[in-house]
A and B are shown apart, each in its own frame.
Chain A
Amino acid sequence: MSNTREPNPIDRRQLLLGGLGGLGALALANSAQARIRVFSQSGDTPPAGEPRTLVLLQLSGGNDALSMVVPWADDGYNKVRSSIRIPDKEVLKLDDYRGLHPALKQLRALWDKGRMGIVEGCSYPKPNRSHFQSMEIWQTANVQGRKSGDGWIGRLCDAAFPSGAAPELIVHIGGAAPYSVFSRTHPAVVFQTPYSYKWVAPEDEDRELYRESGSKDEPGGESKGQKRVLEHLRGVLNDANESSLRVRRAAANYVPSVKYPADEFGEMLKVAAALIDARVGTRVISVELGGFDTHNNQRQAHDACMRRLDAGLGAFLNDMAASTAGGEVIVVCFSEFGRRVKENGSRGTDHGVAAPMLVFGSKVKGGLYGKHPSLTELDDGDLRMTTDFRSVYGTVIEKWFKAEQAKVLDAKYPVLEFV
């Protein structure tokens, strides 16, 4: 089995919270010996049963969802998309109204197997058309954006996994982490590729000392400001030290059951699969796919995005369906907004509002949720919201992770039936 038997390292959050007095005191001792004792004390205890995982897929740039789930039979679509419409003979029809982009062949197969849900018309009241403002609202589930505190995944993990979680509880695979995973109590482990996720030094003594430089006993700093930053940085270094080997091992040991595409997105999802398979304690994995800001010559750019999405996500979901751990995975796919219904003058589309969210997984009840927005009754040229996106979050929080919505969201949103 690829389940690692590495000893469970002390969790810095426990130390911070002072929950485990004994461990905390030991860790405060300054010698390497004391550290080793702490490390060998507790064995790795995988949680009972198969725990559940959320893969949050952010499509950045504002996905033109009308070109992803195409309302092929709607005159409202065909009339205003004269140069960029997807001809109905190419659409992979789901019913007599909508169909998938022609590149989404694997996702279409998942729809047929009942493992894909489409939640129609997702947005929020008083929509914002700025990429960054809108993205922050999606990432925090709050109109205040990051002023409201942690990202929604951070709050979800506070509610669902109160303490003692692995540093890899939340993982972002990619460059900079999206704000969704921002958490003060469960900082995300972030890496682009597992193989270089390590600190290299010529001698063991160096590595030993490097491990200790994340020690919390005396964070240092001359001023309050500096103390605060240093404490945070030491925490990051600790998490890095704790997770680096486990992550690399998981990736190296993993033998996927399908062939993943060789592009960056495919690689990221393969690593996500490896983490799930290795059961390192990761409960949320964040992945981003960019390139959706199609103001100009949309067909070419968006088609490429769809091909990449289908190749990567299709492989991942098929791979997951083949394993026990993978059976407990849900994928939620969103973008900061949809795009305007009417195309612009440069074969593209400008920023819009409502768009469907997609959910996938073996435990997902496939089908349509919510109501498709009208393509003719528009607000300022944009699709009207029919589902508050926080209903989807609320469903994941309540039904997938068995946590209370009230602890994560500002209100209780209607729970949907996709799980």
Chain B
Amino acid sequence: MKYLLLFFCFSVPTSPQATVGWDARQAEHLLNRAGFGARRGEIEQAVAQGQAALVEALVERRADVDPVLIQRPEEPSRREMRELSADERQRVQREVREKSRRQLIEYSAWSMGRMLSSEDPLLERMTLFWHGVFTTSAERVERSCMILQQDQLIREHALGNYGRLLEGMLKDPALLTYLDNQVNKKGNPNENLARELLELFSLGVGNYTEQDIKEVARALTGRGVDGHGLYSYNKGAHDDGEKSFLGQKGKFGGDDVARIVLAQDACPRYVARRILTYLEGAEPSAERLDEYAAFLRAQKYELKPFLKKLFLDPAFYREEILGARVQGPIEFMVGMSRRLGLDTPPLMLAAGSALIGQRIFAPPNVKGWDEGEAWITTSSMMQRGNLAGLLLGVVQIEDVIRADDPDMEASDAGDDGSMQKARKPLDKQAGLKGAGSVAYQALRRVQDAGWAPTLNFSARLQRAGAKTDAEIVGWLLADLLAVPAAADTRARLESFLSGERVVLGLKEGRLFDGGFDAEVVLRRLAHLILSLPEAQLG
């Protein structure tokens, strides 16, 4: 604690004036990386506030949010189950599953809502980050109460201490279930948790041997989950013999595993690398990693000083990383909604993110989500644009999923006239298989429930005093994108706007006389902007 204070005195300037070169670009960068989708007003405020005060607020100020109450399934005891008929038993099990599923949906919505309203953006950002490190998939952990409990554990330590987080995770019912530790027993070890602990949660490849994995697995035997989805230790299943791993020997148990792992030089290095790579969007250089690993170690894995150091480090604002990071799907959906100032329903955020590759609480495998350019494929690029269109109300979900789209038939006839008409697919629902189908259905439900964006670009632009085509395009680009657009893009958008304005029969500067038609044009313009390659960066 003392160290913390000392550090604070040395490195934090006392007044905004002391911040050298703190401008809107840097403030936007920090707000985007430490939170989601910085808005114009927030950036202006952050510049006025000064770097030091902003960093202090981001890292230290917590919103007053009550944790969600966890519902644990009331499953009948085994004896009660035996007394039921087969049909009744199935019905009871179905009900339990359904309740569990509902709870997960509600909680996913709550989480997405937290990111969107972002009273505590850094906590939300780091919670999402740790879910990509200590991965657990709700696909494989059936009881949602365990997923909720894990999220609460992550929230408790996301900005606290990595060591405590690691210790908590080694007793976390969801993780123990996901990595099969409930069946890791004396005499019959299961290596799944031990391997992923060393490889992906703490040390990284090359810093342990296959033998270490086997021995760590033995030390973790006995850690399991009870019928209520709570941690339970089965003494009888624990292998209390001597183990030897990572250079130590003893009758080790799970707590010793955490202690020994945390004492490895590779551990702070691995953790520092993961955080730096995530927040900067690029692998750190060897020197930079050395510095941050040593710092994390000296801080005994305290994360707040680590993040403060990073956010105050001029290298965090270096040219190569400013706006050069591809936003992940959740970040894209939440950030876009924030920049538009939309009250997007949380379930729409969750479904949209899932559609472009990131389902909250369900990373694809134990390695978590591949960040960066891997997010963008030919189809996710287009889907991102479609999601922007949905949020803006210029695209309907049916247009996206229709198998017999008019676009295709028109071009079939148009090319040379001789082409036979496209046959309709045998199974029209074919496009609705798999993970995507759930997401589409969720999006459709939101649409059917009557949600529509409450946007009034005309009023906003008028307030901002943007009149000419160039001013309007410039204002929208600055508002909706995290990075500046290329000159050619800007020119094309301006010519698009002037063309559409002429169609409406309006002179330049008179767009706001165009009423609803003008608003539609502005939304189409916003749709084009949010579909740009530039819109993927943040």
Contacts and interface: CB of A to CB of B under 8 A. Distances in A.
Interface string A247-283: 0110111010000001110010010000000000000
Nearest to B403: A195
A189 B484 CA distance: 27
A86 to B, nearest CB: 21
Interface residues of A, number: 83
B492 A226 contact: no
B531 interface: yes
Contact of A380 (B210, B491, B531): B210
Given A130-B205, A249-B422, A344-B189, A201 B321 contact: no
Contacts of A255: 423, 426
B131 interface: no
Contact of A206 (B426, B431, B433, B528): B528
Contact of B321 (A131, A225, A248): A225
Contact of B383 (A172, A196, A218, A233): A196
A370 to B, nearest CB: 25
A167 B381 CA distance: 15
A386 interface: no
Contacts of A148: none
Contact of B533 (A6, A175, A203, A213): A213
A194 interface: yes
Contacts of A192: 379, 434-436
Interface string B366-382: 11001001101111111
A205 interface: yes
Contacts of A229: 324-326, 373, 537
Most buried by B among A30, A194, A195, A244: A195
Contacts of A233: 326, 376, 381, 533, 536-537
B385 interface: yes
Contacts of B532: 213
B172 interface: no
A108 B441 CA distance: 38
Interface stretch (B5-13, B342-350, B407-415, B454-462): B407-415
Interface string A172-202: 1001110000000000111111111111111
A176 to B, nearest CB: 6
A226 B378 contact: no
B404 A252 contact: yes
B187 interface: yes
Nearest to A267: B433
B96 interface: no
B425 to A, nearest CB: 5
A239 B400 CA distance: 19
Interface stretch (B80-88, B228-236, B493-501): B493-501
Given A220-B486, A255-B426, A5 B416 contact: yes
Given A213-B489, A228-B324, A240 B379 contact: yes
A89 interface: no
Interface residues of B, number: 95
Contact of A346 (B188, B205, B402, B416): B188
B183 A346 contact: yes
A226 B364 CA distance: 28
A240 B382 contact: yes
Contacts of A161: none
Nearest to A202: B394
A410 interface: no
Contacts of A222: 319, 322-323, 483-484
Contacts of B373: 229, 232
B219 to A, nearest CB: 16
B377 A198 contact: no
Interface string B383-404: 1011001000011000111111
B483 A226 contact: yes
B192 interface: yes
A357 B211 CA distance: 28
A84 B493 CA distance: 63
A94 B525 CA distance: 63
B419 interface: yes
Contacts of B383: 196
A224 B485 CA distance: 14
Contact of A248 (B380, B408, B486, B534): B408
Contacts of A8: none
Nearest to A223: B319
A213 B395 CA distance: 19
Contact of A190 (B180, B377, B401, B492): B377
A244 B405 CA distance: 12
Interface in B484-538: 484-489, 491-493, 496, 499-500, 524, 527-528, 531-534, 536-537
Given A197-B379, A295-B180, A224 B319 contact: yes
Interface in A42-101: 60-61
A281 B319 CA distance: 40
Contact of A191 (B195, B378, B415, B418): B378
A177 B528 CA distance: 26
A401 B500 CA distance: 51
Contacts of B528: 201, 206, 209-210, 213
A351 interface: yes
Contacts of A172: 377
B150 interface: no
B185 interface: yes
B192 A295 contact: yes
B365 interface: yes
A196 B436 contact: yes
Most buried by A among B432, B486, B493: B486
Given A177-B377, A236-B381, A223 B408 contact: no
A220 B524 contact: no
A175 B374 CA distance: 11
B201 to A, nearest CB: 13
Given A190-B377, A205-B500, A226-B483, A345 B367 contact: no
B442 interface: no
A194 B431 contact: yes
Interface string B419-463: 100111111001111111000100000000000000000000000
Contacts of A133: 205
A130 B533 contact: no
Interface in A120-168: 129-133, 167
Contact of A350 (B191, B205, B483, B484): B191
17 contacts: A176-B370, A190-B377, A193-B431, A193-B434, A195-B431, A200-B395, A202-B524, A203-B524, A205-B500, A210-B528, A213-B532, A218-B489, A221-B324, A236-B381, A240-B382, A252-B424, A346-B183
Those 9 A-B pairs whose CB atoms lie nearest each other, nearest first: A345-B188, A220-B486, A195-B431, A346-B183, A225-B324, A190-B377, A233-B533, A225-B320, A191-B379
Interface of B: 180, 183-185, 187-192, 195, 199, 205, 210, 282, 319-326, 357, 364-367, 370, 373-374, 376-383, 385-386, 389, 394-395, 399-405, 407-408, 411-412, 415-416, 418-419, 422-427, 430-436, 440, 483-489, 491-493, 496, 499-500, 524, 527-528, 531-534, 536-537
Given A252-B403, A255-B426, 4 more contacts: A132-B367, A199-B382, A200-B389, A200-B400
